[in-house]
Amino acid sequence: MSLSGKRVAILLENMYEDQEFWYPYYRLKGAGAQVVIVAPKAGTAYTSKHGYEAKSNVAAADVKGSDFDGVVIPGGYSPDLMRRVPAMVNLVRDAHDAGKIIGSICHAAWMLCSADVLKGRTITCFFSIKDDVKHAGAEYVDQEVVIDRNLITSRSPADLPAYCEAIVAALEK
């Protein structure tokens, strides 16, 4: 229970990648963190790419990134939907500005682009959006996990074990 007392937001929208949502959700809960599912609307079911539902706890407009010790952003197609909701983008920007741990895997880097937090940073992501992160001011590298200050990024579900270990270790500090 190394994360007892830590509060972590996991962002949610339709078309999320199942593994990139559920693996961190259970890994963080298992480490003792209070995991809060944040979405555009509270108490709403959102469907994954493969048809599985997850229900949000709170609306993004009702919380700030600084309310949490960390924010985890799953990939899939959901980040493209998330970044259309100003409150979701503002939550990520607020968490970044407060120095909170931000985990981004696969296509979740789109949220980092929209939150305008990538200038001068080194990250990884799914290879097909590397041009997007470069245009947002980041250096792209093809590695399993990249840690640049408070940003922890990975490429795909295959990287989940190392990604989650890096997030837990950062939150333990």
Residue ranges per structural domain of the chain? 7-172
Inter-residue contact 30 to 165 (CB < 8 Å): no
The phi-psi region of residue 106 (left if phi > 0; otherwise alpha if psi is between -120 and 50; otherwise beta) is left
Task: State the average pLDDT over residues 39-62.
Answer: 98
Q: What is the mean pLDDT of the chain?
A: 98
Digit-coded pLDDT (tens) for 121-162: 999 999 999 999 999 999 999 999 999 999 999 999 999 999
Task: State the average pLDDT over residues 80-100.
Answer: 98
| Cut 0.95: pTM above it | yes
Give ∠ CA 52-25-113 in degrees, rounded to 5: 90
Q: Above 90 in pLDDT, residue 71?
A: yes
CATH superfamily, region 7-172: Class I glutamine amidotransferase (GATase) domain (3.40.50.880)
Q: Mind telling me the catalytic residues?
A: 106-107
Cα 39 from chain centre: 12
Predicted pLDDT at 49: 96
Q: Above 90 in pLDDT, residue 1?
A: no
Cα 144 from chain centre: 16
Task: State the average pLDDT over residues 42-51.
Answer: 98
Using CA atoms, how far apart are residues 131 and 138, in angstroms rounded to an integer? Answer: 10
Predicted pLDDT at 152: 98
